[in-house]
Structure 1
Amino acid sequence: MQHMTPKQTYEFLQSNPEAVFVDVRSEMEYLFVGHPEGSMLVPWIDGPDWEINPDFIGHVKKAASVNRPVVLICRSGRRSVDAGLALEKAGLQDVYNVLHGFEGDLDDHHHRNSHNGWRHEGLPWAQT
């Protein structure tokens, strides 16, 4: 798995339109916190039981079809690493993780979006 900063990811997605951009956060995070434009939701872990989604690998493999790069993002870049490792174990080879995720790391006051992440970098996102 390769790791890219949010800005590197945005540039990669612009130059590789065939790439599949997967937001692995929960449905509630995707809908209420916002999500990167162009991303598709395939939760790695979701409610109500907060267990690993047994359909995750199948959904991503279907979206990636034949050898399309898969770019994963979560809140801070941790869940997406776990999801990426599972995809690689399942045979996908062109997997990328977005460092710092959508909201970034916690600051000294336990807030996100203050010093890194997709939103902090001012990259395109939507809230639906």
Structure 2
Amino acid sequence: MTHDPKLSQRQDAQAPRESEGTRPAEGYAGDVTPQLAYDWWRAGDAVLVDVRSDAEREWVGFIPGAVGIAWKQWPGMAVNTSFDEQLRAAVPPGKKVVMLCRSGVRSQATARRATELGFEAWNILEGFEGDRDESGHRGSKGGWRLRGLPWRQN
């Protein structure tokens, strides 16, 4: 087998790069920084889906204009049996979908599910609140809010 440098260059040019705000992932299109997800969404290239529970969006904060489709609902965090149907209704064919949760874990699961349903799905790194700090609190180590992206609180 011979090495074709032109083919390798084409593949490299198509591969997501962390410096561009994306990185590859297993089972879905990849992970994307909050800023790049925001840019895609505002440009109309993607639908932003907030997969946190209704209670989280109500009490912690929400992103005006994002589509709220809970992956799991509080209390008990039962899986939303209408998730697939709601996602299909919210995301037009051919449009990317960027998934957001609290910290970037549920959104990975939903990006995998959306990929299984035929969408180009991305997980937003850091989520809405980011990782826990040394004291176990969220909000000071990354996340949509900390990055200064639009959000509101009731």
Distance 2:74 2:128 in 1: 19
Which structure has the higher relative contact order (CA within 8 Å, separation 6+)? 1
Residues 49 and 113 (structure 1 numbering): CA distance in 2 closer, same or farther, change over 3 Å? closer
Structure 1 residue 57 displacement after superposition: 1.2
User: Which one is further off, 62-71 or 115-124?
Assistant: 62-71
Equivalent pairs counted in the alignment come to: 126
Structure 1 residue 127 displacement after superposition: 1.7
- Structure 1 residue identity aligned to 2:148: G
TM-score (norm 2): 0.77
What residue number does 2:112 align with?
85
Structure 1 residue 50 displacement after superposition: 1.8
Deviations 1:57-84 (A, max 9, x none): 1111111132211111000000000011
Structure 1 residue 49 displacement after superposition: 4.0
| SS of corresponding position for 2:40 | helix
**Deviant stretches of 4+, over 6 Å:** none
Residues 22 and 45 (structure 1 numbering): CA distance in 2 closer, same or farther, change over 3 Å? same
- Structure 1, unmatched stretches of 5+, are none
Q: 2:146 aligns with which of 107, 116, 120?
A: 120
> Are the equivalent residues in 2 in contact too, given 1:43–1:56 (CA < 8 A)?
yes
> Are the equivalent residues in 2 in contact too, given 1:21–1:40 (CA < 8 A)?
yes
What residue number does 1:11 align with?
39
Structure 1 residue 105 displacement after superposition: 0.4
> Are the equivalent residues in 2 in contact too, given 1:36–1:102 (CA < 8 A)?
no
Distance 1:99 1:71 in 2: 10
Asked if 1:69 corresponds to 2:96, the answer is yes
TM-score (norm 1): 0.91
What residue number does 1:2 align with?
30
> Are the equivalent residues in 2 in contact too, given 1:36–1:118 (CA < 8 A)?
no
| SS of corresponding position for 2:98 | strand
- Structure 2, unmatched stretches of 5+, are 1-28
- Structure 2 residue identity aligned to 1:3: D
**Root mean square deviation of aligned Cα:** 1.3
Asked if 1:97 corresponds to 2:123, the answer is yes
Between structure 1 and structure 2, the one with the greater Rg is 2
What residue number does 2:15 align with?
none
